[in-house]
A and B are shown apart, each in its own frame.
Chain A
Amino acid sequence: MFGFLILALVVVFVLYAVSSYNRLISLKNQVANAWKQIDVQLKRRHDLIPNLINTVKGAMNFEKDTLEAVVSARNKAISASTTGNVAATAAAEGQLTGALSRLLAVVEAYPDLKATGNVAQLQEELTGTENKIGFSRQLYNDTATQYNTAQQNFPTMLFAGMAGASPATLWEITDDGERAVPNVDLSMNTPAK
């Protein structure tokens, strides 16, 4: 009777270990997959930018700074993405996000430009792509948090080493400018740059 009890306990423990191990592995793969999703969307964004610049640059010759900021941010982001470093990529992409949103704000100030069908389409593409990047980051952070929590929770943490699990880095805002409260000017003056 006692032996039977021990056997039952061992069986329960083994089943628990297997399921914990599998859960960790599955989360690990989900995190890797979510990371790839961000990559896909970032690539999309990088490909979209030359198109956007070509469309607006004729009408916005005197906004050269804004356009150049976007182009240089894009180039930095592309070179950062080849390193595969989460923090560096996040920083470079954060700057690109800022440059693009400034460009979109400037486009808003040119009604003629906005009226062109091409620009409206590009704007939707850009909004869509920016959203996709945001959502893939959200998915990555959610999955990574689940993965990290599973590694720290009590019974599961015993198997973290066996599953080769290590904490995943979350995608953070590194640019202080992005954290700052936006300064909105509602006076009717012409927009400064």
Chain B
Amino acid sequence: MTTAGNLFAQQEANRKASRRLVAGFVLFIAWLGFGGDFIWYLASRNAAGPDTYSGVHIFPGLGLFLLMIAGGMAWWGYNFGATSLIKATGAREIDTPATDQERQLVNIVEEMSIAAGATKPHIWLVPDAAPNAFATGVHLGDAHLAVTQGLLDTLNREEIQAVVGHEMGHIVNLDVRLMTLLTALVGVVALIHNNAFRVMRFGGSGGRSRSRSSSKGGDGMGIVIVVLLVVWIISWIIAPLVTRYMAMKVGRSREFLADTMSAQFTRNPAALAQALEKIGGSTVKPKMIPKSSAQLCIADPYHSVWGDREGKFADLMATHPPLRERVRRLREMAYQNAGTGDSLHSPLIMSEA
């Protein structure tokens, strides 16, 4: 049972890591919006005197404004993101397979949906010679799985199965929904950040007058307010970088998780390791996959930050974990699986349960 324990333990660790990341992300966004409201409230409360509520900022307008714009962007991504992406790649849906190759792909996708206990996703074939695959769709019942022609041509059946298993992992984990949401939040922060700085450059914004009135307090409360305000403004200055960094980190932890899901479905992690090596070793440049959707693919199709770079900069820019690390983790699972004794004994142990 050590193999299963190891695999499910890795899954659990990945889930925990991405839960923590998402919680941190949400808290940071809340601080950017409602934190501002809170500081505003403290400042106006301080200025208004103890017995009156006139002029006190009570309605958390900043936070709600942030939420509304993010909600709008997320709504668009929810409803149009999946199909607009697939259309952008020029993919063709496989309803009834025409060739042996397509028949095999349909069979593999059916196999993996059974292993995942999910409904079969729509299958798309992207006319691109670069081997790659991606999944999209924010609802479990309406998922889309696309593979490139190059993937079918370069990989053998087991490897295609492992790649499809990885994508099914994304689908059952609802990763597309999570990443759509995070992308919307990153987008809204960037949008407000850019506009706010433009306004400030042209002088005399509401934010500045507020800071002046709050520092008039002079007592201990006034200092607290000023410190909070400074921290808040600095948060906003670094916000685009921080949110992008966190979203990338969540995305990478979901990639690791999807790798372990594939291993769970196929019980053959070595096949995914082989597939990743083939995909990473391919020198064919993708033509149909837009750069903006690179984060959805099984591996970064643009080879930009692959393998070699594992430093801080790669942390900020890479949509995927280093390929070498992914392969190493998969091989680790595979070597433990390779012992014949293990695979023979696990059903016996399970039957005692």
Contact = CB atoms under 8 A, between A and B. Distances in A.
Nearest to B116: A139
A97 to B, nearest CB: 15
B103 interface: yes
Please report whether the interface of chain B is mostly helix, strand, loop or mixed according to DSSP: helix
B100, B115, B161 — most chain A CB neighbours (10 Å): B115
B54 interface: no
Given A124-B107, A131-B111, A135-B111, A30 B117 contact: yes
Contacts of B267: 138
Contacts of A34: 117
Interface string B97-115: 0001001100110111011
Contacts of B265: 135
Interface in B168-199: none
Contacts of A172: 347, 351
Contacts of A120: 100
Please report whether the interface of chain A is mostly helix, strand, loop or mixed according to DSSP: helix
A135 B344 CA distance: 17
B353 interface: yes
Interface in A124-146: 124-125, 127-128, 131-132, 135-136, 138-139, 141, 143, 145
Given A148-B353, A152-B353, A139 B115 contact: yes
Interface in A24-64: 30, 33-34, 37, 41
Interface in B96-146: 100, 103-104, 107-108, 110-112, 114-117
B353 A128 contact: no
A128 B347 contact: no
Contact of B350 (A124, A136, A170): A170
Instruction: Give the contact-size bracket for chain A.
Output: 20 to 34
A37 B114 CA distance: 8
Nearest to A40: B114
A75 B107 CA distance: 25
A109 interface: no
Instruction: Give the contact-size bracket for chain B.
Output: 20 to 34
Contacts of A139: 114-117
Nearest to A121: B100
Contact of A136 (B114, B161, B340): B114
Contact of A124 (B100, B347, B353): B100
Interface string B296-321: 00000000000000000000000000
A37 B110 CA distance: 12
Contacts of A131: 107, 111, 161
A173 interface: yes
Contacts of B100: 120-121, 124
Contacts of B114: 37, 41, 132, 135-136, 139
B351 A121 contact: no
Interface string B274-286: 0000000000000
Contacts of A127: 107, 157
B353 A121 contact: no
Contacts of B157: 127
Nearest to B266: A135
B174 to A, nearest CB: 17
Contact of A121 (B103, B111, B112, B116): B103
B75 to A, nearest CB: 30
A127 B353 CA distance: 31
A90 to B, nearest CB: 11
B116, B161, B267, B351 — most chain A CB neighbours (10 Å): B351
Contacts of B107: 124-125, 127-128, 131-132
Nearest to A148: B353
B111, B112, B340 — most chain A CB neighbours (10 Å): B111
Contacts of A193: none
A180 to B, nearest CB: 10
A179 B340 CA distance: 11
A41 B115 CA distance: 12
B353 A149 contact: yes
B117 A128 contact: no
Nearest to B101: A124
A40 to B, nearest CB: 9
26 contacts: A37-B114, A37-B117, A124-B104, A124-B107, A125-B107, A127-B157, A128-B104, A128-B108, A128-B111, A131-B111, A132-B110, A132-B111, A138-B115, A141-B347, A141-B350, A145-B350, A148-B353, A149-B353, A152-B353, A170-B347, A170-B350, A170-B351, A172-B347, A172-B351, A173-B347, A181-B340
Given A121-B103, A132-B107, A135-B115, 6 more contacts: A127-B157, A131-B161, A138-B115, A143-B117, A149-B353, A170-B353
Q: Which 9 pairs from chain A and chain B are nearest by CB?
A: A128-B107, A135-B115, A135-B114, A131-B111, A136-B114, A139-B117, A148-B353, A132-B111, A132-B114
